[in-house]
A and B are shown apart, each in its own frame.
Chain A
Amino acid sequence: MARIELNGLGHRYPGSEQYALQPQTMVWEDGGAYALLGPSGCGKTTLLNIISGLLTPSEGSVLFDGRDVTQLPPEKRNIAQVFQFPVIYDTMTVFDNLAFPLRNRKLPEPEVRSRVQEIAEILDLSGELRRRASGLSAEEKQIISLGRGLVRKDVAAVLFDEPLTVIDPHVKWLLRRQLKRIHQQLKLSLIYVTHDQIEALTFANQVVVMYEGEVVQMGTPQALFEEPAHTFVGHFIGSPGMNLLPCELNGESIRLGEQSMPLAPALAVRLAQVGKPLMLGIRPEFIRLASSGSAALDADVVRLEDLGTSKILTVTLAGKPIRIRLPEQQTVEGTRVRLDFQPERTMFYADGHRIA
């Protein structure tokens, strides 16, 4: 278990002017499950490799429980890493694969045996220990890679680099569940890199959203979903992402094209102080179809898509497309609808950052 601190940590790849990872300072508490979420090229793998020691940062430092490990190689850092595709030693049996890290550290054989069996029990691998590792399926190999990471008692953190990439979608469920179970049982710090928001949000208790080398927001899945601090977070999380509309403050209401929406007076005051162009953000889940009411806005229907368990209605409002999520059974009549934005879920942004 380790408390991980990043102090002014940044990285520029040799020969490049641009930061792959912007200098930043952060603390990750012991025993937490963290997800690094972001699109390709956002710097999440760079950050993971710096934490694991496979990459030495060009500036800043990394501390584990207060100890500076920035220059330490991975084998001295008490971390384990699971990669995108299963890395196993196919000439060995499952047992030998799991025992490998312990034997390399010269642990006595009886201890090796008991530890391997303990981990195999947790991962439901006890029956497979005698099998040759080369004949197994992708998910079994990934579980073994994971087991190899967990088998060392001194492991402070387990790092995952998009580990479910090669796994069949319907098996991903089982693996995610197992990961969560392991986290609860072993109480290790887990850091999980992914570009898939479902994986990130279901896995972590703190999600770190990254964009272009910078941490844009860190928070619980609920906070990220309900209160995105940045338009990128609103866009990236949620399928479909948050709807963003340019808007103008007009006294105590908001103007969207030709239409207006009233605002709470306190909110209107805050927005008036901003002085920059405003964007209104609202998630498809928080818009309702209203039958009437002065607060409702009119929009033109573009299309209705049936996704089996829910429906997505695309409409245009003030010339911009908006998506609304509707329950499975709902139907839409006609070409115009009235929309009701839940006020507590309506966010305002300026320059990408949240105002209120």
Chain B
Amino acid sequence: MQLKLDGISKLAGADVHIHPLDLNLQAGKINVLLGQTRAGKTTLMRLMAGLDRPSGGRVLVDGVDVTGVSVRRRDLAMVYQQFVNYPSFTVFENIASPLRLAGKLSPQEIKTRVEAVAEKLHIAHLLDRLPSALSGGQQQRTAMARAMVKQAPLLLLDEPLVNLDYKLREELRAELKDLFADGHTTVVYATTEPHEALLLGGHTAVLDEGRLLQFAPTLEVFHHPATQRVAQVFSDPPMNLLPAHIPAGTGEARLAGGLVLPLGPHLTALPAGQYTLGVRPSHLRLRPERSGEVALQCEVELAEISGSDTYLHLKQAGADWVAQLPGVCDLDPGSHVEIYLHPGDVFAFDQQGRLAGSPDRGLILAANAASVGA
């Protein structure tokens, strides 16, 4: 199903919940809505579903304007954060309920479909239980089965895994990816975690304060964030952002505290002026690996060891940096280290926050940096 939002906006009194935006969902694929809490993800999903009327703009399904059409007549399914199941129905009856309401299938057909979906979601052995006898993960699977049994062309998931513990989340997420790999369903998945967006793949729409900042294949948004805000929202741990001044013709950037950074080949043609430079924590290293790397003298504030990685909180000439190092680096607070950074890994954002240059995409002229819905 091809879902298109055309100039959609939503106001509530004087508050603008969604600024006018256009969004063309990728049919048959996973579309991730990424944004912090209250960015407008749930509001936007409700507009897509028809649970709310937009204050302006149109919703088009396969080219047909469905803006005023009630959600009951639209062919879609939705899964919520809270495990929403009918408490007095067994798992079987819960999953069968949309089919029974539609009234078009025989009981035998309903039974076959329900069992097939339950099998896919690994709850086939729980069909006679009541939701209160299930664990959180099982309840959410039931809710998902109920949504999927309709075989609706559009499936909306509003942070469905947020109330589950992290290992369960990992497992379900991998399953979700496989469930929708066949391309029959257009999936919209809202989340606050950049990591989930990267794991699910597909396309990502970054929302912030009711605005759509960027909509592109997930990795593209990750490697080439259109604005500084996108880079901030889409990284965990947060990207290191530092104000810098680039004087004309020197091929260097001057940062606070006297630090001078040579500009990589992708940034040398930047016009002079004020910029914000961005460096990912994972691009900072303890040992030099490539030629041309710059050493930063830093003081360790804190070392957070998580087993597979160490997050090092550093102070360098008054600025705070975070480095993500592989393995275990048990450094004491107050110790001094040299951190290596390659100029080719630096992002540059102009004064309006737009991307001016990114590693391996090179220089982006201001005209090309206009993002979706700006």
**A interface vs B, CB < 8 Å?**
39-41, 168-170, 173, 176-177, 180-181, 184, 195-198, 201-202, 221-222, 224-226, 235-241, 283, 285, 305-310, 325, 328
Interface pair B167/A241, CB less than 8 Å apart: yes
A227 CB → nearest B CB, Å = 11
B333 at the interface (CB under 8 A from A): yes
Candidate in B170, B233, B302 with the most chain A CB atoms within 10 angstroms: B302
- Among A184, A238, A305, A325, the residue within 8 A (CB) of B199 is A305
Interface pair A202/B305, CB less than 8 Å apart: yes
A202-B308 contact, Cβ under 8 Å, with A306-B219, A309-B280: no
Q: Which B residues from 167 to 225 make CB contacts under 8 A with A?
A: 167-168, 170, 192-195, 198-199, 201, 219, 222-223
A136 CB → nearest B CB, Å = 14
A240-B170 contact, Cβ under 8 Å, with A170-B232, A181-B302, A307-B198: yes
**CB<8 Å pairs between A and B, sample of 15:** A39-B167, A40-B168, A168-B36, A170-B233, A173-B237, A173-B238, A180-B304, A195-B167, A197-B167, A197-B307, A222-B328, A238-B307, A285-B326, A306-B198, A308-B198
Interface pair A177/B36, CB less than 8 Å apart: no
- Among A176, A197, A221, A328, the residue within 8 A (CB) of B166 is A197
Assembly CA distance A239 to B170 (angstroms): 8
**Which B residues lie within 8 Å of A310 (CB)?**
282
Interface pair A308/B168, CB less than 8 Å apart: no
A213 CB → nearest B CB, Å = 15
Interface pair B302/A170, CB less than 8 Å apart: no
* A interface footprint on B253-283 (CB within 8 Å = 1, 0 otherwise): 0000000000000000000000000001010
Majority secondary structure, B binding face: mixed
**Which B residues lie within 8 Å of A237 (CB)?**
307
**Which A residues lie within 8 Å of B306 (CB)?**
197-198, 201-202, 221, 225
Interface pair A196/B166, CB less than 8 Å apart: yes
B9 at the interface (CB under 8 A from A): no
Interface pair B307/A222, CB less than 8 Å apart: yes
Interface pair B304/A41, CB less than 8 Å apart: no
B198 CB → nearest A CB, Å = 5
A177-B219 contact, Cβ under 8 Å, with A201-B305, A240-B170: no
Assembly CA distance A305 to B199 (angstroms): 7
B128 at the interface (CB under 8 A from A): no
Interface pair B167/A236, CB less than 8 Å apart: yes
- Among B201, B308, B313, B326, the residue within 8 A (CB) of A177 is B313
* Other 16 A-B pairs with CB < 8 A, given A285-B327, A325-B308: A39-B165, A40-B165, A168-B36, A169-B192, A173-B237, A176-B304, A195-B166, A197-B307, A202-B306, A221-B307, A221-B328, A222-B328, A226-B307, A305-B201, A308-B194, A309-B280
B28 CB → nearest A CB, Å = 19
The residue in chain A whose Cβ has the minimal distance to the Cβ of B164 is A40
Interface pair A39/B305, CB less than 8 Å apart: no
B37 at the interface (CB under 8 A from A): yes
Q: What 9 pairs across the A-B complex have the smallest Cβ distances?
A: A225-B307, A195-B165, A202-B304, A309-B282, A201-B306, A308-B222, A307-B198, A221-B305, A196-B166
Assembly CA distance A176 to B301 (angstroms): 13
B324 at the interface (CB under 8 A from A): yes
Assembly CA distance A241 to B192 (angstroms): 23
Interface pair A184/B333, CB less than 8 Å apart: yes
A325 CB → nearest B CB, Å = 7
